């Protein structure tokens, strides 16, 4: 094999790993970012990790014939994709919390009964919480953490040496933690709306001529939005904990210890 290929094999496989991460990671996986931008991010992170992205773990046959690098590149992309999914779950939890709150406020009933009638991006509460999740993820240092964790994976698992044995429990554990985060974020809104339903029921029975739907729907929306805004500080604290847990899960996927 030419010496140039032996020199570039490690960074090339490193780019495949980071490309899988950039395919799913928050803010990098959005459709607004062009593919060339994601490729550039993957190349920069792979070059930064070049000292650790050696080819010692690759078999000699793979280095002798470049086409044998395709299975290794596929495995590295799957490795990065698992890391990206773990990084995406905290933000996805906030979108799920917005969807739960939207249904309770009455904004998501159309999508519940007819999936084709609603917006593909979800109702207003879901979109609001999705934007809040991305903003809080960036505010809590999630992007820096993802980039640094991606470079640290080359210390725990050099290119060609990763095993998917610990990836499944790490990803499923992260999914369960994200589900808990979504319910915890939506819980204050649920409590407020239960209280509003009790008050609205008393008002509707006290004023027989007042329509409960006409009176209750706007109030539920306002109370729900007020609950989301009032819980911003708690959401920030929850996201900070989710980012720390995300780093632990990414180390588990890489096979390294916390």
Question: pLDDT tens for residues 236-251?
Answer: 888 888 888 888 888 8
**Backbone angles phi and psi of 157, in degrees to 5:** -140, 95
Res 258: pLDDT: 41
**pLDDT given at position 66:** 62
More confident residue, 86 or 10: 86
Average pLDDT score over residue span 27-42: 70
pLDDT at 255: 74
Query: How close are the terminal C-alpha atoms of the chain, in Å?
Result: 38
Q: Which of 3, 16, 5 is nearest to 162 (CA)?
A: 16
Query: What is residue 4's predicted lDDT score, i.e. its pLDDT?
Result: 52
- Greatest alpha-carbon pair distance for the chain in Å reads 87
- What confidence score (pLDDT) does residue 257 get? 47
Q: What is the mean pLDDT of the chain?
A: 75
Query: What is the predicted pLDDT for the residue at 1?
Result: 47
Residue 198, pLDDT score: 75
Closest CA to 48 of 137, 134, 150, 165: 150
pLDDT surpasses 50 at 6: yes
User: Does the pLDDT at position 92 exceed 50?
Assistant: yes
List Cβ neighbours of 116 (8 Å cut-off, separation of 6 or more).
none
pLDDT at 114: 53
């Amino acid at each position: 094999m030419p010496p140039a290929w032996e020199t570039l094999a490690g960074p090339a496989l490193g780019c495949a790993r980071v490309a899988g991460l950039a395919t799913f990671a928050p803010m990098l996986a959005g459709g607004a970012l062009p593919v060339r931008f994601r490729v550039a991010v993957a190349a920069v992170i792979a070059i930064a990790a070049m000292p650790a992205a050696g080819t010692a773990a690759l078999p000699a046959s793979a280095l002798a014939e470049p086409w044998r690098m395709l299975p290794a590149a596929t495995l590295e992309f799957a490795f990065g994709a698992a890391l990206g999914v773990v990084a995406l779950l905290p933000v996805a939890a906030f979108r799920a919390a917005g969807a739960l709150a939207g249904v309770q406020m009455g904004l998501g009933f159309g999508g519940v009964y007819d999936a084709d009638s609603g917006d593909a991006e979800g109702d207003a509460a879901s979109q609001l919480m999705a934007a809040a999740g991305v903003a809080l993820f960036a505010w809590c240092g999630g992007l820096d953490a993802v980039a640094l964790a991606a470079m640290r994976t080359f210390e725990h698992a050099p290119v060609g040496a990763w095993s998917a044995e610990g990836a499944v429990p790490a990803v499923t554990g992260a999914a369960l933690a994200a589900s808990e985060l979504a319910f915890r974020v939506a819980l204050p809104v649920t409590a407020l709306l239960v209280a509003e339903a009790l008050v609205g029921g008393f008002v509707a029975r006290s004023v027989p001529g007042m329509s409960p739907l006409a009176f209750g729907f706007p109030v539920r929306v306002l109370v729900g939005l007020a609950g989301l805004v009032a819980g911003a500080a708690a959401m920030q604290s929850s996201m900070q904990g989710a980012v720390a847990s995300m780093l632990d899960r990414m180390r588990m996927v890489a096979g390294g210890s916390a």
